Structure 1
Amino acid sequence: MLLKTVFSGFGGQGVLMMGYVLAWAGLHEEKHVTFLPAYGAEVRGGTANCTVVISDEEIASPVASSPEYVVAMNYPSMLKYENMIKSGGTMFLNSDLIRQHPPRVDIHVVEVPANSLAHELGNDRSLNMVMLGAVVAVTNIVSQEAVFKAIETVLEGKKTNIIKMNQDACARGAAFIAEKTSERCCHA
């Protein structure tokens, strides 16, 4: 298994944190992992992206020229990465900020209202963990348990309620996917 994921969005959406937590989750499952953040104009409102590669074997390059998964937290990110994603891959869209699908018919699209779900939880800043929970639920790149452990690792030294809030947001993203899957299967 070798899976490449690109996370992209505005600075302030927690894009780099999503990738960092996923990378740690891979390490907790004893996989080979690379995490490649793109630094530059990541100031709040600028753009941010990172690439995470997770594999059962050594990884030759941290660069993901044709990733299996792209997480687009805003419309410019969707436009930037829609042609890069591997045929048969999956693009996750923050449907609160992206109102249309990419025109490609050879990829899967998963819409997650990350902003709305985070708001329902009472913390708008947790939209990144909501989205990460959804990504992990669809892809099974790593287990939800590994993500929870990674959140503890990454936020070590923070207040317990901050760790729990992020874990709850991640669980809400996974639950959203389960609800969506249940609706699709029951209304088909």
Structure 2
Amino acid sequence: MLEEIIIAGFGGQGVMSMGQLVAYAGMLEGKGVSWLPSYGPEQRGGTANCAVVVSDEPVGSPLVTRPSTAIVLNNPSFDKFESHVRPGGLLIVNTSLVNRKSTRTDITIIEVDATALANEIGNSRIANMILLGAFLEHSKVVSEDSVIESLKKVLSPNKHHLIDVNKRALNKGATLVMEKTI
């Protein structure tokens, strides 16, 4: 198994956290992983993306040019990465902030109104976790349990009270894929 992932959006949307969670979860499961962040000029509000590689073998390079999955949280990220997803790959789109539709027929596309769903749960800042839950359910690259365990490493100790709401967000994203309601 080799999964090469690009996660992209504005700074402050939790893009880096999503990547870290997948990488930590992969490590917990004994997989080869890499995580490579890339920031725009501003940390909050600028563009941000990260490349994550998860493999059953040691990872030779952290660079991802033709991702098997792209998770895009805004229009600039959609514009930049939608065409890079390799044929047969996966594109997950946050339709709350992306107003374009992919015309590609050679990839699987999952569209999620993540911000609206996060607001239903009661915290607009967990939209990223809903998208991550959808990705995990579709790809099975790492388990949701490993991601939840990884939250303890990614979140600072004074934010551990947010683990429960993050679990609910992951479950919401997974449920959407299981029910094929997206």
TM-score tier by shorter-chain length is over 0.9
Instruction: Give deviations 1:39-63, integer Å, cap 9, x for gaps.
Output: 2324322100000000011111100
- Aligned partners of 1:55, 1:45: CA distance in 2, in Å? 31
Aligned to 2:90: 90
User: Which of 22-31 and 35-44 deviates more?
Assistant: 35-44
Q: How does 1:158-173 map to 2 (within 5 A)?
A: 158-173=158-173
Aligned position for 2:101:
101
Tell me, yes or no, if the aligned pair for 1:101 and 1:109 is still in contact at 8 Å: no
Distance 1:171 1:42, change over 3 A: farther
Written as runs of structure 1 = structure 2, the 5 A alignment for 1:28-107 is 28-107=28-107
Output the TM-score relative to the length of structure 2. Answer: 0.94
For the aligned residue pairs, the C-alpha RMSD in angstroms reads: 1.5
Residues in 1 aligned to 2:158 and 2:3: alpha-carbon distance in whole angstroms: 30
* Residue type of the alignment partner of 1:106: D
User: How far apart are the structure 2 equivalents of 1:42 and 1:103?
Assistant: 31
Q: Match of 1:155?
A: 155
Pick closer, same or farther for the CA change 1:158–1:24 going to 2, 3 Å. Answer: same
Q: Which runs of 5+ in 1 are unaligned?
A: none
Residues in 2 aligned to 1:146 and 1:52: alpha-carbon distance in whole angstroms: 16
Quote the Cα distance in structure 2 between the aligned partners of 1:50 and 1:135.
15
| Higher alpha-carbon deviation: 148-157 or 71-80 | 148-157
SS at match of 1:60: coil
Counterpart residue identity of residue 138, structure 1: H
Superposed CA offset, 1:108-131 (max 9, x none): 110011101111111101111111
> How many residues get paired?
182
Deviations 1:3-22 (A, max 9, x none): 10000011111111110111
Q: Equivalent residue of 2:79, what SS?
A: helix
Aligned to 1:22: 22
Gaps of 5+ in 2: none
Match of 2:135 in 1: 135
Relative to the length of structure 1, the TM-score reads 0.91
CA gap of 1:49–1:160, structure 2 versus 1, over 3 A, is: closer
